[in-house]
Structure 1
Amino acid sequence: MNSVNPYEYGLPRDAANFQALSPLSFIERAASVYPQRLALINGRFRQTWGQTYERSIRLASALAKRGIGVGDTVAVIAPNGPAMFEAHFGVPMCGAVLNAINTRLDAETIAFILQHGEAKVLLVDKEFGGTVQRATSHLPNRPLIVAIDDPEYDQGLLIGELEYEALLAEGDADYAWQLPDDEWQAIALNYTSGTTGNPKGVVYHHRGAHLNALSNAMCWDMTRFPVYLWTLPMFHCNGWCFPWALAAYVGVSVCLRHVRAEAIYPAMAEHGVDHFCGAPIVLNMLANASPELKALKTRPVKVLTAGAAPPAAVIESMEALDFRVTHVYGLTETYGPSVACEWKTEWDDEAPDQRARLKSRQGVRAPLLDGLMVADPETLEPVPRDGQTIGEIMMRGNVVMKGYLKNPTATAEAFKGGWFHSGDLAVWHEDGYVEIKDRSKDIIISGGENISSIEVEDVLYRHPQILEAAVVAMPSERWGETPCAFVTPKPGVTLESQAVIEFCQQRMARFKVPGAVVFCDLPKTSTGKVQKFVLREQARALAADKNL
């Protein structure tokens, strides 16, 4: 009997029929097919795809001439703009790994990231020159610092050995860059927020970046030639892989240095923006903008939102303004969004508030995520699809990180049992949609009953005079824990805590109603997430003062 597999015999894997997946192929195609199409808008600056491709090649060539290659890290601290966008292509074109660093971090954290990631080169916009100067002043292995100068920004401090344009001038436009031989090769390094210790370095590979760029665009029904507004930082999960997706779809990137309603609405009107991504805090800001700003928007705009579970009331407000909201979910470890709340036509006739509640669920696996489940974190047994039993969200597939840099213990723990453990607690609905109830550390246990802080926050956001809200556990001698609400009223509004409590009593079970309401500005991380660990400390102090 012939033991040779006929589907292997004489059918070799060859350069003619196999190529490692990489998002770098997207920009080569965009530039060769549509070289004159607009790629970047940054204030008065305009740049085509042909120009963007050439500048990316020059960046790769210049880095290679300075000895940068496979296994080397090139860090960038810059706002959404041409240099940051070009780095997403030019850095991996020479084989190096892009480390886009959060611009809102303090000098000490930046120093840790540069040292841990062993950055050989650091591109830094002058807005952040002072912070980076402090961060690098005592580094034992100081990277080559390259200054990015935006002529339309007249503040900040230019630091470094040379300027970005001078670095590009060192490069050759005919540099023969190549796609990686192995799609498992690292393309990017992103650090987690690190609110309870040093951040962890999440490593992305070319395959995952290629696939998630397409996956996010697919679940958004993005079509060719989108006009995309950058409110989402490109340093956050590489802008959810959208620099690469926009190359695949030959879109226009409309860049903003600062994310403010006063800049967003005029940009939408001027450039015909039809897509943008943003955290719920950005949506809330737009929903509460002045009527004059809102009036500037005259066409539908698609919105992809994630970062924290968006309150249904915020989604409802955005939909009323003809923003077409798609809710997605993911983590730094999954290249950004990898789960999407796919909309079904049978929901079209639902009332607006019910539509918003359906959209506020995290959803189902995105097109190119292979596995998603809600399960017991110890046994890995899936929970019943009853919308009540709480388990941990787990994912697996090509759009899960390569692992944590220099941290095999944390990597093994995250991948225990062949699934990535998200740390997010959720229920699984009968229709297969998952819905987050809390981070594992944020669930409130009162009198033996689990209370979702997100559920209580969702009710608070429905109060017409509340701008922002966050709920954490407060110690209680009687119940063990009880919810404590931290609330930011809308400008010019005076609220009483009892009125807020009564509002909640009318809309939820009594044991879920906050035991205390604190009015304040919510403390946030550099990526806009509420720092609940800070609020928990305040709640503990409040409970001690009141002897609860």
Structure 2
Amino acid sequence: MIDIDDNTTIGQALATAAERYEDNVLLVAPANAARGYDPQGREIRYGEAFQEVQRLQALYRAAGYGLGHRVALMLDNRLDHMLHKLALNGLGVCCVPVNPDYRTRELVYLLEHSRVDLAVVLPERLAQLRQALDVSSHRPPVAALHDFAPMQAGTGAALPPPARAALAGDPTGDTPASILYTSGTTGQPKGCVLSHTYELASGRWYARLGGLASMREGRERLYNPLPLFHVNASILSFFCMLLTGGAQIQPDRFQPSRFWREVHGSGATVIHYLGVVVPMLLAQPPAALDRSHGVRFGIGAGVEPQLHAVFEQRYGLPLIEIWGMTEMVRLLADCHEPRQVGTRAFGRAQPGLDAAVMDEQGAFVPDGTPGELVIRHSAATPRRHFFTEYLDNRQATEEAWRGGWFHTGDVVLRAPDGMLHFMDRRKNIIRRSGENIAAAEVEALLITHPRVAGAAVLAVPDDVREEEVLACVVPKDGLPGGEQGEALARELFDFCHAQLAYYKAPGWLYFTREIPTTGTQKIQKHRLFPEGADPRTVAGMHDLRALKKRG
């Protein structure tokens, strides 16, 4: 593994890795005949990646982009996303990845909040972006991916210049490398600012987990089907591979019917998963590829305890349960034998990552007692290698760091042996197929509908996607029944689906006369349905899940 410290920048790490691992493969797009680009697949070696990054940097530099600028990347899961990120970071530019499933309303918020200086998009995403720009108060220049293609005379087309000049100087370890948007519990998503030091430290930590997760220098090929606008693929696994001479295999998205074919065909030795991946793969018919792969281990979070051993037995590889989040993705991991398979164990505190359990008053609780997981680097340097801040939200940053610990919001239990066990999700966060959905965001949109007097959104279990969105709505005109109820439920679904990423729209919808509150008017979601009842089976519940589709 190449040597780095807290002063190393991403550009310096890339240059060192390119020299040391020049002929190794860095990035892989697995073959996919149904894909409109690179249907036969594509591999980019370290030396080739470094040359392409330098070419892209020349284009950006010539247009005036540099230290202090921000550039939105709407490039889906193309390998180009990582090449552009490396080029921009090397110049001191901060990348703002964009979820391609965002609707106009969500894109406008991201543009206005991040105030990017340029948006780089796929040609097929231009119309989607322009719809947002038409109604946004912030309208950065736009460059399509084909604008960067090499030309016969020169290295590419001229890019539109930024409206403001770059800052003087060179990037440092503290320079922002990415702003990733995370679902907040009380409103709009927060922009999580991640530095060069954070991103490289995350990769180094992963590379050093050891045990079953040991990384062999220059030999690993890591298949990550997760989106590049998330921290897992674009930072955690990618920088682990970069620092150790490995390759990141980046498919378009997770598809159970193609998963093992792509894993086998790309020569993957490590796979990443989310809880929803496991039952979907187990539901596939048995096939020869189930065991004829070279995968050493899988790493992820959220596997159902009763499926953990079943998966390992069928596919012949260990699933290593981890815990991490955008604010701090240096993992806690249950990667040393004996593992606690079939539980929700996800690791123990380690030097450089303190972990404790607190009650609601901020007092530490005894082992065996559920409470909130709080973390820090150490007592002396609690925020080292964590996110820098929530963009333009100092109050939220400091609230999360109250008492010198970062408050995760996750309910866990620590056993006497120090092993941490996951208990429950964050308050007001719905976890659907790996996406974190803020109940507050869906509620805020629903109450703008002219026929809605109030709304409460909560999570309900889902047999396939872990959790689903349930919206409880108080109509202004009284409870509708029969066909009127069906029509209003569909109207509210369409209203949400048109303005939010498809996965955020309600999969279940229920009309109620009132939403229970406390004496201080705090919503009591636990009183919406009888204790012990499954809300999905309550009379009058509308099942809208079949309507939740991309596009």
The answer to whether TM tops 0.5 is yes
The residue type paired with residue 116 of structure 1 is H
Is the CA contact 1:36–1:50 (under 8 Å) kept in the aligned structure 2?
yes
| 2:371 aligns with one of 377, 391, 398 | 391
Q: Secondary structure at the match of 1:119?
A: coil
TM-score by length of 1: 0.70
User: Residues 288 and 301 of structure 1: is their aligned pair in 2 closer, same or farther, counting only changes over 3 Å?
Assistant: farther
Q: How far apart, CA to CA, are the structure 1 residues paired with 2:47 and 2:353?
A: 35
Match of residue 405 from structure 1: 391
Q: How far apart, CA to CA, are the structure 1 residues paired with 2:58 and 2:187?
A: 37
Match of residue 515 from structure 2: none
Shift of 1:391: 1.4
Match of residue 354 from structure 2: 371
Match of residue 517 from structure 1: none
Shift of 1:378: 2.8
User: Residues 41 and 545 of structure 1: is their aligned pair in 2 closer, same or farther, counting only changes over 3 Å?
Assistant: closer
Q: How far apart, CA to CA, are the structure 2 residues paired with 1:293 and 1:270?
A: 13
| 1:58 aligns with one of 55, 58, 71 | 55
Q: Secondary structure at the match of 1:116?
A: helix
Match of residue 216 from structure 1: 206
What do residues 494-529 of structure 1 show as CA deviations (whole Å, max 9, x unaligned)?
xxxxxxxxxxxxxxxxxxxxxxxxxxxxx9996979
Match of residue 202 from structure 1: 192
Match of residue 280 from structure 2: 285
Aligned pair 1:41/2:28, yes or no? yes
Shift of 1:20: 1.0
User: Residues 417 and 484 of structure 1: is their aligned pair in 2 closer, same or farther, counting only changes over 3 Å?
Assistant: closer
Aligned residues: 430
Q: Secondary structure at the match of 2:287?
A: helix
The residue type paired with residue 279 of structure 1 is L
Shift of 1:298: 3.2
The residue type paired with residue 13 of structure 2 is F
Q: Secondary structure at the match of 1:431?
A: coil
Shift of 1:28: 1.1
User: Residues 396 and 231 of structure 1: is their aligned pair in 2 closer, same or farther, counting only changes over 3 Å?
Assistant: same
| 1:232 aligns with one of 216, 226, 229 | 226
| Structure 1 stretches of 4+ moved >4 Å | 163-168, 178-181, 483-487, 523-547
Structure 1: runs of 5+ lacking an equivalent: 1-16, 150-161, 172-177, 348-354, 444-452, 458-471, 473-482, 491-522
Match of residue 326 from structure 2: 332
Q: How far apart, CA to CA, are the structure 2 residues paired with 1:429 and 1:74?
A: 44
Is the CA contact 1:265–1:293 (under 8 Å) kept in the aligned structure 2?
no
Is the CA contact 2:299–2:320 (under 8 Å) kept in the aligned structure 1?
yes
Q: How far apart, CA to CA, are the structure 1 residues paired with 2:398 and 2:6?
A: 30
User: Residues 316 and 433 of structure 1: is their aligned pair in 2 closer, same or farther, counting only changes over 3 Å?
Assistant: same
TM-score by length of 2: 0.69
Shift of 1:539: 6.4
Shift of 1:224: 1.5
Q: How far apart, CA to CA, are the structure 1 residues paired with 2:413 and 2:232?
A: 29
Match of residue 245 from structure 2: 250
Shift of 1:164: 5.2
Is the CA contact 2:276–2:464 (under 8 Å) kept in the aligned structure 1?
no
What do residues 173-228 of structure 1 show as CA deviations (whole Å, max 9, x unaligned)?
xxxxx995642221111000357531100001121111111112222312222111
Is the CA contact 1:88–1:243 (under 8 Å) kept in the aligned structure 2?
no
The residue type paired with residue 407 of structure 1 is N
| 1:96-135 correspondence runs (5 A) | 96-135=93-132
The residue type paired with residue 295 of structure 2 is P
**RMSD, aligned CA:** 3.7
Aligned pair 1:362/2:346, yes or no? yes
Q: How far apart, CA to CA, are the structure 2 residues paired with 1:75 and 1:484?
A: 31
User: Residues 402 and 313 of structure 1: is their aligned pair in 2 closer, same or farther, counting only changes over 3 Å?
Assistant: same
| 1:417-496 correspondence runs (5 A) | 417-441=403-427, 486-488=461-463
What do residues 416-462 of structure 1 show as CA deviations (whole Å, max 9, x unaligned)?
1111111111111111111121135379xxxxxxxxx99xx9xxxxx
| 1:185 aligns with one of 151, 175, 179 | 175
Is the CA contact 1:24–1:244 (under 8 Å) kept in the aligned structure 2?
no
Match of residue 313 from structure 1: 306
Shift of 1:273: 0.6
Match of residue 382 from structure 1: 364
Is the CA contact 2:227–2:253 (under 8 Å) kept in the aligned structure 1?
no
Q: How far apart, CA to CA, are the structure 1 residues paired with 2:171 and 2:286?
A: 54
| 2:270 aligns with one of 259, 270, 275 | 275
